[in-house]
Amino acid sequence: MGCPSNWLEPIVRVQTLSDTGSPTIPNQYIKPLSEQPSFSIQSDSLKIPIIDLYELINGDTTTQKAIMDQISIACREWGFFQLVNHGIGHELVDEALEVWRGFFHQSMEVKQDYANTPITYEGYGSRLGFQKGAILDWSDYFFLHYLPSTLKNHNKWPSQPPLLRGVTEEYLQEIVRLGKILLKVFSLNLGLQEDHLRGAFGGDDIGACLRVCFYPKCPQPDLTLGLSSHSDPGGMTFLLSDEHVSGLQVRKADEWITVKPVRHAIIVNIGDQIQVLTNGIYKSVEHRVVVNPHKERLSLAYFFNPKSDVLIKPATELVTSTKPTLYEPMTFDEYRRFIRTKGPQGKSQVESLKSPR
Ligand code: OGA
Ligand code: NI
């Protein structure tokens, strides 16, 4: 199906539903039983790894090696880790959350000026995927482009609160810096040239966008999800989340592990494109968001992506006779079309790239 120029059903803001104070949620948000949070095993005891970036850059050689190894294990076994001492000022981190909280707390009239469409998804949105009658997630969001700079347009970013554009710009610049460091670390850890992944991503023309997710309070959190299970389609994701309200859950075998965000930490996860580039050595892991009856939650998800038109395929160095190529080449542009049509669907998309044999 081609992409429609507008949504096929009237858009309902989840924040508006939440604000009515109704004790029940509309049927369109009720997940099938097997996806409801209470159906699955949820664990608070396991923890995703915590990585200290300061030690990676400033530690002695032995410490640096140890941190590189921690990152390697995190990428292979977890697909997720929290980055602490990442060098982004704590004030900036706090401000980034604060300005976006300010955006969502403005009147609906102001926010509607930024209402998005399924063509580019830029702006204020309430659904992912445009198929009619789909079961929806309990969240609203704001989506914006950052790189390539030809796609960046500050006029499409909210003009209020007044600090929003400046703070967001500054925060994103810092995340770009972190992204470059991690691509180098991953390349070295995989035994590749240090600029290998950067090159495979399209060199200086990488893509980057931000989705600010807003999860309003929900009167029946056991029946729905703030964000359905999915793996991130892009290269890697840097998530900054409200440290007071947990909600993000990461799948480990058959359990859902609740992430407890460390204050000011950035949560990093591997996306589908890195899974493909590494021929499955690094895992893009399924995750989802559960919602809360008493507290709203805000997160900033920064997606660091390959250039949209380069072919993404396993690095030749990682393809051997015992480990043949697992995935068919595809550009990120083609790949992204799937999630934008159907919405989050677990890991079914990256699985569908598996080479026939
Ligand atoms: C995402 C995502 C998690 C969160 O936006 O892809 O997984 O905690 N967000 O908001
Ligand atoms: Ni995600």
Model pLDDT for residues 16-37, shown as the tens digit of each residue: 999 999 999 999 999 999 999 9
CA 332/CA 39 separation, integer angstroms? 34
Domains within the chain, CATH numbers bracketed: 14-346 (2.60.120.330)
Q: Whose CA is nearest to atom 10 of ligand 1?
A: 299
Task: Indicate if the alpha-carbon torsion angle 327, 332, 337, 343 is positive or negative.
Answer: positive
- The model's pTM is 0.95
Q: 48: closest CA among 76, 15, 80, 16?
A: 80
For ligand 1, whether the C-beta of 287 sits within 6 Å is yes
Q: Whose CA is nearest to atom 8 of ligand 1?
A: 248
- Distance spanning both ends of the chain, measured CA to CA: 28
Residue with tokens 């030809």: 150
* Tens digits of residue pLDDT in 56-88: 999 999 999 999 999 999 999 999 999 999 999
* Tens digits of residue pLDDT in 191-205: 999 999 999 999 888
User: Where are the alpha helices (H) located in 123-281, listed in sequence order?
Assistant: 164-189, 196-200, 272-277
> What's the pLDDT at 355?
67
Q: Which ligand is nearest to the CA of 212?
A: 1
Inter-residue contact 164 to 152 (CB < 8 Å): no
> What's the pLDDT at 44?
79
Q: Which residue has the higher pLDDT, 329 or 225?
A: 225
Tell me how far the alpha carbon of residue 10 lies from the centroid of ligand 1, in angstroms: 24
Q: Whose CA is nearest to atom 1 of ligand 1?
A: 301
> What's the pLDDT at 1?
57
For ligand 1, whether the C-beta of 227 sits within 6 Å is yes
CA 130/CA 114 separation, integer angstroms? 18
Q: Which amino acid is residue 282, in one-letter code?
A: Y
> What's the pLDDT at 129?
86
What is the mean pLDDT of the segment spanning 267-286?
96
Tell me how far the alpha carbon of residue 194 lies from the centroid of ligand 1, in angstroms: 29
